[in-house]
Amino acid sequence: MITVQDLTKRYARTTAVDHISFSVSKGDIVGFLGPNGAGKTTTMRMLTCFFPPTAGTATVAGFNVFEQPLEVKKRIGYLPEAPPLYLEMETIEYLRFVGRLKGLAGADLEKRIAYVLDRCAVADVKTKLLGKLSKGYRQRVGLAQAIIHNPDVLILDEPTAGLDPKQINETRDLIRSLAGDHTVILSTHILPEVEQICEKVIIISKGKLVATDSVHNLQARARGAESVLIEVGARGGEFAAGNVQTRLQKIAGVSRATLREEFQNGAVFEVEASKGQLVRGDLARAIVEAGWDLNELRPAAMSLEEIFLQLTGADASKKAEPSPEPAESTDAPAPEANA
């Protein structure tokens, strides 16, 4: 459905997107993951024909974004980071305008309006001015305008940014429910969001592609070395964190145990296992057998930053030295330009 080949966008001094290639097949729901300024918005704007790439090609539904932008635009629904709403219009008036702009008319248009009003749960504000809507409603009207012409591809730029937790969940549910009919690409910098919604992830950092993989594989990759947090307590009152630490370190497969936090009758340790070793059972047994209490044992959640460090940092240290001409610095954050 979407094929991207060596897509590049250079500004005067920075390279916002640097030779990115990936493909998305029909019906996929893909997360576009990266920290702020990684080039997510820039890539999406090239896919939606908002501006042309400096180099490389991208095709959407078989049409080249540079050569046949009108055909591509007909097949794409786009929700920019800030929903593009005319604040002086009513919801239904706005949807009618966007629908007409996308080529709908007559009974078809009214049918689609009724459908998206219902689907995006904005029917109750259909005669309200957009300027008076809350952020959550605005976001949903933004989604409604993106799907009004039933596009093959939906491109959503940080659809949950700035919403409260309840709205975030609602929006995620909505996006997931749309996946059946549309191919969806959504950008985000929140890892759990990708875990919840997407099947496939494309990670970019500083304009470069870091990984494209399924969510499952990515998690496995990121947690290659298992790391767990355990809270150990002692009822007797005699508790020495050092003892526990040495005991933990003796367990086969544990590469490191560090004290994270210590309180009166207990402490929290982070235990890292060597790659491929599952040590949770052994840890639990060892602690109980030694007469301590095992209060908590949970995998240390990997933050996106840590995954990035792992995925980018490792690569960089390997490549940086032998490479004769180091890649041009793209340190400056890509201007998420307000065009």
Q: Is 80 in the site for another protein (CB under 8 A)?
A: yes
- Judged by beta carbon, residue 98 or residue 234, the one nearer another protein is 98
Q: Is 62 in the site for another protein (CB under 8 A)?
A: no
CB of 82 to another protein, least distance (A): 5
Task: Pick the stretch among 49-57, 170-178, 231-239, 253-261 that binds another protein (CB under 8 A).
Answer: 49-57
The C-alpha atoms of residue 235 and residue 237 are separated, in whole angstroms, by: 5
- CA nearest 175: which of 146, 214, 137? 146
In 74-132, beta strands by DSSP E: 76-79
Q: Is 43 in the site for another protein (CB under 8 A)?
A: no
Q: Is 162 in the site for another protein (CB under 8 A)?
A: no
Select from 6, 26, 36, 86 the one that contacts another protein (CB under 8 A).
Answer: 86
The C-alpha atoms of residue 280 and residue 294 are separated, in whole angstroms, by: 12
Q: Is 113 in the site for another protein (CB under 8 A)?
A: no
- CA nearest 33: which of 242, 193, 254, 239? 193
What 3-state class would DSSP assign to 122?
coil
Task: Pick the stretch among 67-75, 162-170, 196-204, 296-304 that binds another protein (CB under 8 A).
Answer: 67-75
Burial grade of 225 (CB within 10 A; 0-12, 13-18, 19 or more): middle
Burial grade of 132 (CB within 10 A; 0-12, 13-18, 19 or more): exposed
Select from 43, 48, 59, 171 the one that contacts another protein (CB under 8 A).
Answer: 48
Task: Pick the stretch among 79-87, 180-188, 194-202, 282-290 that binds another protein (CB under 8 A).
Answer: 79-87
Q: List residues near another protein by CB under 8 A.
A: 45, 48-52, 70-71, 73-74, 76, 78, 80, 82-89, 93, 97-98, 100-103, 145, 337-339
